[in-house]
Structure 1
């Protein structure tokens, strides 16, 4: 069997910048390696570089009335053909189209992949390759509840009278955020109030004012949230902070959509006693390092983040302040204090 002939296939990427991700225009450099258990005739080694987004969900009741909604976007699809080059090298040239994403409509990306010869001897074989990712405003990799954005590099090893054996590796693709955009490092603030109702509803309002130093953060960063409370009521109020991820999936027409909310982080502050005015406190919210980046460049899959600050007053009443934030790959410095 072919699976017994080729073993220990690996794709190794060479990165000198210490990153474990790729972005638009990056050079993908590395090598493939595999072991052969016997002398084997190889007709070609091909590579395919793809990027796409897929969404799918169902809605409706039972009894066969459920409807299926789906959409797909192809960012690029570069397919390889083996050509013979001088000095006994084989050159793999990729041709692809990527019209939708404002890249060159025809991409020509060379891979140096294997030495000339049809028979490979028993043992370990290692072949280098290199190829640039196309330029374009492609969204970051993401796996969601009802869809995903994936980038893959597929190596196909072809033998006479055998089906091609494909090895697929998923690339971690990151869309670099332009940190010079206005507003990313500007402070955010908001306030809200609620009047706790007793029998005669004559209580004074409980007020919550919240501020953060900037709008853009990176996964793993800690958000310092400054809260100011005014609690003239007779009830103790407890502040709670939550980081929510909102995933929104669309069909191409935008007439149908599906939304999913995930709570990624949660922290509770110290209770605010009754009959107090303008008490300030800081609450630290750690963004999980595994959190995905904000996605706004894809027409069928959008990922947003919201910080929710909630002040519980007794068992029934609450004050809520919401902050939309952005998670990006590059640290953003807040405005220095005046």
Structure 2
């Protein structure tokens, strides 16, 4: 998908943007950010958080006290994972971003071949490469970069960190680079989630898993719930052999995982639980409603390359031996605007 520029209602300090097109203000006065003739580069974003499946928009402002020759002016967004337990070398490995998009705002992109980059550098040293000359004044460049719906959200927890960073990069004709970079928050927007069958199994004393004669049907109007809200459902238990079920517990669990050489569960926490006591434990059919709340402080569902956060709705039947049923749900940050 090509990267296109679109309008953005950004709030800029001392930057009147009556027309949202890349342009130049040729006024000779330049504010204090560009003293001593040094180009000043700033990134202004349209909002505090950005949502997957939508666009990241903003404006890059370049202030020049005098004409300057440049190679390129670009804006990029990169996503990186820093899993718990990963080596420092792996965490700092260059080019390890799982997501990287760059948009050219002015000039020409850096050559990809090492020989071409070396030739460009040599010609710059000899003064043969002049680049593109920008006039003194204030240059404003709006930008808009699509964020795929499949991106994991920003995260910092027991399993590590997922971070997104926006960087404006000005490369002068001399080879010097000026950057302005900031971390942004990316929020997951849930897509239509296909229901998965509930796992019907229970552990025995030897740790093996076997099927059971008891059947459970869980009705969930929605398998997706916003943080701070509740997931509502109804359970129906078919118990044809009249096995005593004195208590049924419904719970909501969040599991934080790291996948390195092997999968490793870092943290499992039960965030909410509710209990149902059947009036007749040996009844052939048991029905009950339940409601479980996902706390606002909990992490959202994440499916990263090395970091995962999985939410499980679990039903535990206090039989002998105990029987457990579980199904995944999606928890996401509320979408505003």
- TM interval, shorter chain, is 0.5 to 0.7
What is the CA distance between 1:170 and its match in structure 2? 1.2
Instruction: Check 1:173–1:247 CA distance in 2 against 1; reply closer, same or farther (3 A cut).
Output: same
| Aligned partner of residue 75 in structure 2, secondary structure | strand
Q: Deviations over 1:143-173 (max 9, x none)?
A: 342333322212468999x995634031415
Counterpart of 1:259 in structure 2 is 265
Does the CA-based 8 Å contact 1:78-1:94 persist in structure 2? no
Q: In the aligned structure 1, how far is the partner of 2:197 from the partner of 2:108?
A: 49
Report the RMSD for the aligned CA atoms in angstroms: 5.2
Provide the C-alpha distance between the structure 2 equivalents of 1:95 and 1:256, rounded to a whole number of angstroms: 38
- 1:21 aligns with 50
2:290 & 2:258 partners in 1: Cα distance?
32
Does residue 293 (structure 1) correspond to residue 301 (structure 2)? The answer is: yes
Per-residue displacement from partner, 1:102-125 (whole Å, max 9, x unpaired)?
Answer: xxxxxxxxxxxxxx544x6xxxx8
1:325 aligns with 2:324: no
- Paired position in structure 2 for 1:280: 287
8 Å CA contact retained: 2:80, 2:99: yes
1:188 deviates by: 4.3
Report the Cα offset of residue 330 of structure 1.
11
CA deviations 1:50-72 (Å, max 9, x no partner) are 122232317xxxxxxxx989567
Partner of 2:142: 129
Deviation at 1:237, TM superposition (A): 3.8
Aligned residue number for residue 227 of structure 1? 235
2:85 is the counterpart of 1:57: yes
Deviation at 1:294, TM superposition (A): 4.1
Matched, 1:213 2:241: no
Match of 2:15 in 1: none
Match of 1:170 among 171, 184, 199: 184
Q: 2:49 touches 2:184 (CA, 8 Å); kept in 1? A: no
Separation of aligned partners in 1, 2:253 and 2:140: 45
- Indicate yes or no: 2:257 matched with 1:248: yes
* Structure number having the greater strand percentage: 1
Tell me the residue number matched to 1:305.
311
Who is 1:101 aligned against? none
> Structure 2: how far apart are the matches of 1:81 and 1:275?
68
Task: Note the 1:81-100 alignment, pairs <5 A.
Answer: 91=106
Q: Provide the C-alpha distance between the structure 2 equivalents of 1:262 and 1:141, rounded to a whole number of angstroms.
A: 20
Once residues 126 and 269 of structure 1 are traced to their aligned partners in structure 2, the CA distance between those partners, rounded to angstroms, is: 63
For structure 2, the 5+ residue unaligned runs are 1-31, 35-39, 113-133, 205-211
* Equivalent of 1:142 in 150, 155, 162: 155
Which whole-Å CA distance do the structure 1 matches of 2:190 and 2:55 have between them? 15
CA contact (8 A) 1:249 1:257 kept: yes
Unmatched tracts of structure 1, length 5 or more: 59-66, 83-90, 98-115, 195-204, 332-338
Per-residue deviation at 1:322?
1.9
Q: Note closer, same or farther for the CA distance 1:305–1:176 as it changes in structure 2 (3 Å cut).
A: closer
3-state DSSP class of the match of 2:51? coil
Deviations 1:20-41 (A, max 9, x none): 53335x443223679x9xx967
Q: Distance in 2 between matches of 1:245 and 1:20?
A: 24
Question: What secondary structure is seen at the aligned counterpart in 2 of 1:265?
Answer: strand
CA shift in 2, pair 1:325/1:134, >3 Å: closer
1:258–1:126: structure 2 CA closer, same or farther, 3 Å change rule?
farther
Provide TM-score, normalisation by structure 2.
0.54
- Say whether the 8 Å CA contact 1:51–1:76 is kept in structure 2: yes
Deviation, 1:285, is 1.5
CA distance in 1, matches of 2:147, 2:287: 50
Confirm or deny: 8 A CA contact 1:186 1:213 kept in the other structure: no
